[in-house]
Structure 1
């Protein structure tokens, strides 16, 4: 691989280091409840207080977690989706220099993300203050799928523009 092509790998490498670093932190190091409890969340307490569901065998509700804990749950799970969305985008960029069909790149990227997310959750089993959850792998995979969908849409729009520009070929 050419030296210039290695720059395509840099965003993915940085992303992997960030995710791996965050994964080694305990819940206490990442606890957002003290910060959230300083915000004026009381305005959303009434509409949220009627919501209750089970996630990974635990009840998720304002009554069970408190308002700050309930909001934190959605922030944390949203972070899973956003993080793996970004990782999928970085992985597609990393594969850009390779001569491979677009659909094949998307499939390999998705497989990479699912394997990475699964291994990350397995690592949590060995961390004394973390819990590995298959449900989080599903969220991570959903984030990756959204990232790949956006990359595919961008590719199609760019290809259409190229064809519309008179070249007659899609990129």
Structure 2
């Protein structure tokens, strides 16, 4: 392979893996922040009609990591923040796993192998992320968060596998 060809492959490799590296870095950075730096309750209180939220969700009660999650126990701003945080867990690991599948497919792996490797790496990273939070002040690691992360990773890997398999099939037909 020529120097020009290897430079192209290196650039392509960087662009393929860059989203994975950026997302993993953002997850690490977020886990390094104490809760106080991530508290969005003041913004929620400023921009959301909390009376309406309170009336709409007053009967919603769930148990998460041994604690009751309810409007009565948390208040509306904390209640919203809880669900925003859990949605973020799912979403970032969805995106991480999606881009892992993309990167593995680019290396030539099958859809199944790309899926399983993406899921394995994302799951390990989810567990390491919660472990990392043990060493961050005012953060509490939860096994339930790892499960939520893995569910997001499964969904992201599945969507990525379907999209990149279809894309590969359509390129073969051309």
TM-score, scaled to structure 2? 0.87
Aligned length: 165
Deviation at 1:160, TM superposition (A): 5.7
Unaligned regions of 5+ residues in structure 1, if any? Answer: none
Alpha-carbon displacement from aligned partner over 1:40-71 (angstroms, at most 9, x marks no partner): 13222212111112100111001111001001
Alpha-carbon displacement from aligned partner over 1:98-127 (angstroms, at most 9, x marks no partner): 232220111010000000000110111122
2:71 is aligned to: 62
Contact 2:31 2:129 in 1 (8 A): yes
Secondary structure of 1:99 counterpart:
coil
CA RMSD of the aligned region, Å?
1.8
1:33 is aligned to: 41
Task: Indicate yes or no: 2:83 matched with 1:74.
Answer: yes
Contact 1:8 1:95 in 2 (8 A): no
Between the aligned partners of 1:53 and 1:102, the Cα distance in structure 2 is 37
Unaligned regions of 5+ residues in structure 2, if any? Answer: 1-5
Task: Indicate yes or no: 2:111 matched with 1:105.
Answer: no
Among candidates 114, 122, 131, match of residue 140 of structure 2: 131
Among candidates 75, 80, 90, match of residue 99 of structure 2: 90
1:142 is aligned to: 151
Alpha-carbon displacement from aligned partner over 1:142-167 (angstroms, at most 9, x marks no partner): 1111111211222344356457x5x5
Among candidates 3, 16, 22, match of residue 10 of structure 2: 3
Task: Indicate yes or no: 2:51 matched with 1:45.
Answer: no
2:25 is aligned to: 17
Between the aligned partners of 1:152 and 1:97, the Cα distance in structure 2 is 12
